[in-house]
């Protein structure tokens, strides 16, 4: 659901970023020197008008790395459709072919360049015709097999993750179908010892990622707004 490093001057920058009365400009220079945290949530889930950040994540040195446990994690889409002879239906496709790392700094806050990747070739729903059409036509998974999210900032998280669930906003670059957009997610997470668990959800329109709406079998109509969800279970990387 690749990392970011704090330079020697990061302590003073990070201190400023955590002051509740200070608005921090999230520029490329800040991301090279600070954690991804920002105090006040502003973005609602969905594709943002700002361009993708395209961070340089080649020099990341997190204090702690949490590796996503694929067997206990999942990525899924939900789309509303109208089926002939059945009526309204929610199409749900899911995969556990989901890997990535969540990076925390020395204060326990998420770092930019935390990342996850999902293999779209393994998405499964309750209808094989739908799945095959998605693979071959809609998502063109042989050409674009992965969906990738790279964190650029966190809003609304004023303290490190702890044993209780907290709600905040993730901002980052989401790449699907060869197109990268800046996207915000509504997220909930907690950290209990060596285990980090959480979930996040966002929405997008198929046109945002140059995706052609599927027309297959009994589908009469389809809402082109898609919900994307991730469930994450991660453990400290060894």
Residues 6+ apart with CB under 8 A from 35: 4, 6, 14, 17, 105, 107, 109, 110, 111, 112, 154
Per-residue pLDDT tens digits for 73-116: 999 999 998 888 778 889 999 999 999 999 999 988 899 999 99
Fill in the DSSP letter of residue 110: B
Residues 6+ apart with CB under 8 A from 134: 93, 120, 123, 141, 214
* 145, 68 Cβ separation under 8 angstroms: no
- 26 domain residue, yes or no: yes
pTM listed for this prediction: 0.81
* 172, 155 Cβ separation under 8 angstroms: no
Give the distance, in angstroms, between the CA of residue 21 and the centroid of all CA atoms in the same chain.
Answer: 28
- 3 domain residue, yes or no: no
Show the tokens assigned to 209.
Answer: 């990622």
Among the listed ranges 53-57, 176-180, 217-221, which one has the minimum average pLDDT value?
217-221
- 4 domain residue, yes or no: no
Per-residue pLDDT tens digits for 123-142: 999 989 889 999 999 999 99
pLDDT-above-90 percentage for the chain: 64
Q: Domains in the chain: how many in total? A: 1
- 75 domain residue, yes or no: yes
| C-alpha–C-alpha distance, residues 162 and 108, integer Å | 9
Supply the pLDDT for residue 42.
56
CATH number for position 123: 2.40.128.110
- Indicate whether 48 pLDDT > 90: yes
- Indicate whether 4 pLDDT > 60: no
- 30 domain residue, yes or no: yes
Q: Which residues pair with 80 in a beta bridge?
A: 90
- 139 domain residue, yes or no: yes
- 1 domain residue, yes or no: no
Instruction: Tell me which residue of 189, 229, 222, 210 sits closest to 45, measured CA to CA.
Output: 229
Instruction: Tell me which residue of 217, 204, 215, 216 sits closest to 177, measured CA to CA.
Output: 204
* 103, 65 Cβ separation under 8 angstroms: yes
Per-residue pLDDT tens digits for 161-171: 999 999 999 99
Residues 6+ apart with CB under 8 A from 9: 33
**Residue 116: domain span:** 10-236
Q: Which residues pair with 232 in a beta bridge?
A: 198
- 5 domain residue, yes or no: no
Please give the backbone phi and psi of residue 84, each rounded to the nearest 5 degrees, phi first: -60, 130
| C-alpha–C-alpha distance, residues 235 and 18, integer Å | 26
Apex 198 CA angle, 229 and 165, nearest 5: 130
């Amino acid at each position: 659901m690749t990392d970011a490093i704090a330079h020697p001057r990061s302590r003073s920058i990070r201190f400023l970023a955590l002051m509740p009365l200070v608005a921090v400009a999230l520029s490329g220079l800040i991301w090279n020197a600070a954690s991804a945290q920002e105090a006040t949530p502003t973005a609602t889930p969905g594709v943002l008008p700002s361009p993708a950040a395209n961070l340089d994540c080649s020099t990341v040195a997190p204090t702690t790395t949490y590796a996503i446990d694929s067997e206990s994690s999942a990525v899924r889409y939900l789309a509303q459709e109208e089926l002939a002879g059945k009526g309204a239906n929610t199409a749900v496709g899911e995969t556990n072919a989901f890997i990535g790392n969540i990076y925390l700094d020395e204060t326990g806050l998420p770092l930019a360049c935390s990342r996850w990747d999902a293999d779209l070739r393994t998405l499964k729903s309750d209808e094989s015709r739908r799945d095959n059409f998605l693979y071959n036509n809609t998502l063109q998974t042989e050409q674009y097999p992965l969906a990738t999210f790279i964190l650029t900032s966190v809003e609304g998280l004023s303290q490190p993750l702890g044993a209780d669930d907290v709600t905040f906003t993730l901002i980052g670059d989401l790449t699907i179908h060869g197109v990268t957009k800046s996207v915000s997610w509504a997220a909930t997470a907690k950290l209990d010892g060596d285990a980090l668990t959480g979930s996040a959800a966002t929405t997008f329109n198929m046109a945002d990622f140059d995706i052609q709406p599927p027309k297959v079998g009994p589908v009469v109509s389809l809402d082109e707004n898609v919900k994307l969800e991730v469930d994450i279970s991660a453990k400290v990387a060894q």
